[in-house]
Amino acid sequence: MNDKKFNAAITAVGMYVPDEVLDNKYFESILDTSDEWIVTRTGIKERRKLSNGATSDLATEAALDLIKTHNIDPKEIDVVIVATVTPDMFFPSTACLVMHNIGAVNAWGFDSSAACSGFLFGLQTATSLVESGRYKKVLLIGADKMTAISDYTDRNTCILFGDAGAAVLLEPAADTNTGIMDTVLHCDGSGANHLNMKGGGSLNPSSYETVDKKWHYIYQDGKAVFKVAVVGMANVAAEIMERNNLTADDVKYLVPHQANLRIIDATAQRMGIGREKVTINIHKYGNTTAATIPLCLCEYYREGKIVKGDKLVLAAFGAGYTWGAAYIRWSI
């Protein structure tokens, strides 16, 4: 397929979730909803909230966790990519703030916007940078402070989201038999009306009107997104298995974006694998957008459930629409 000499591989992981927990009982106390409805329809029991601080703080803590755990010298980091839809500000990039916070003084970097597919889009970008031979250490962080754009009077959306950050380091692998083996990524802008945040951009600059209309919060047509997400994530997971001749037995884990347990189950079913081969932490954290997949990778790796050589299929679907999958052979 190509003549590359080595893959990029994940060589370090880190994560951060804030201490404050919002459980379903909390939402029962402020909205017309129930623990039973939320658990049955989404699989979420609780999520985390960062009351003081911003996405750069979530990303910085995740990066520092990675740096300390794996004994990385921040001065050796070449590039920092932050996948997020909740940057601290439009500019400068959250990546610049994180580089400053962690002492990555020799790095350059940028933010990447692909919503819930952000980590996978960032993964392909980071992989290409490493495979080019020009960069040896690329830090990819998925971080979102979703509570900052959640409307706590809208039961359709606010119960879904939480705050978190998680990071991976990509470095050259020894050969092409390990690391990031393949990715498949898709975009379809015709989905933009179903899942968005309308206010504050150049289309609808912030005004009293945009605030009155609640355009600085997440808007989602849940039913419409659910239908395409189920099909999109299941199809792309099947697509990456086919192109890499992977059977259900080959795959140690499906590592899916954590938006809804029913979407995750549909994807696993399409791949022909059971729940025991799916990484799940949606019950603890809800949908943390760009952070869900690296959070799963970090937790399952640290628990000893993901080990060197394991074949993993990552899959996500999000606003845009954006969706994709990655096939990884775990390297640490």
Q: Which residues are catalytic?
A: 116, 257, 287
Cα–Cα dist 164/291, whole Å: 6
Residues 277-316: x where in contact with ligand COA by CB under 6 A, - otherwise, as a string: ----------x-----------------------------
Residues 217-236 that bind ligand COA (CB under 6 A): 222-223, 225-226, 229
User: For 42, what's the count of Cα atoms within 13 Å in the CB-facing half-sphere?
Assistant: 30
Residue number with CB closer to ligand COA (74 or 162) = 162
Q: Edge-to-edge strands of the sheet including 322-329?
A: 179-187, 322-329, 311-318, 253-256
Q: 109, 172, 286, 318: which one contacts ligand COA (CB under 6 A)?
A: 318
Q: Check residue 41 for interaction with ligand COA (CB under 6 A).
A: yes
Stretch that binds ligand COA, among 87-95, 176-184, 259-267, 305-313 (CB under 6 A): 259-267
Cα–Cα dist 300/168, whole Å: 13
Per-position b or e across 202-238, b if 16+ CB within 10 A of its CB: eeeeeeeebeeeebbbbbbebeebbebbbbbbbbbbb
Residues 154-193: x where in contact with ligand COA by CB under 6 A, - otherwise, as a string: -xx--x----------------------------------
Number of residues that bind ligand COA (CB under 6 A): 20
Residue number with CB closer to ligand COA (71 or 153) = 153
Cα–Cα dist 164/143, whole Å: 6
What tokens were used for 128? 């290409």
Closest separation between CB of residue 33 and ligand COA, Å? 3
Q: Check residue 58 for interaction with ligand COA (CB under 6 A).
A: no
Residues 260-279 that bind ligand COA (CB under 6 A): 260, 263
| Widest CA span in the chain | 59
Closest separation between CB of residue 241 and ligand COA, Å? 21
Closest separation between CB of residue 80 and ligand COA, Å? 24
Please name which of 62, 41, 40, 58 lies closest in space to residue 49, comparing C-alpha atoms: 58
Task: Give the Cβ contact number of residue 275 at 10 Å.
Answer: 12
Note the residues at the interface with ligand COA (CB under 6 A).
33, 37-38, 41-42, 116, 155-156, 159, 222-223, 225-226, 229, 259-260, 263, 287, 317-318
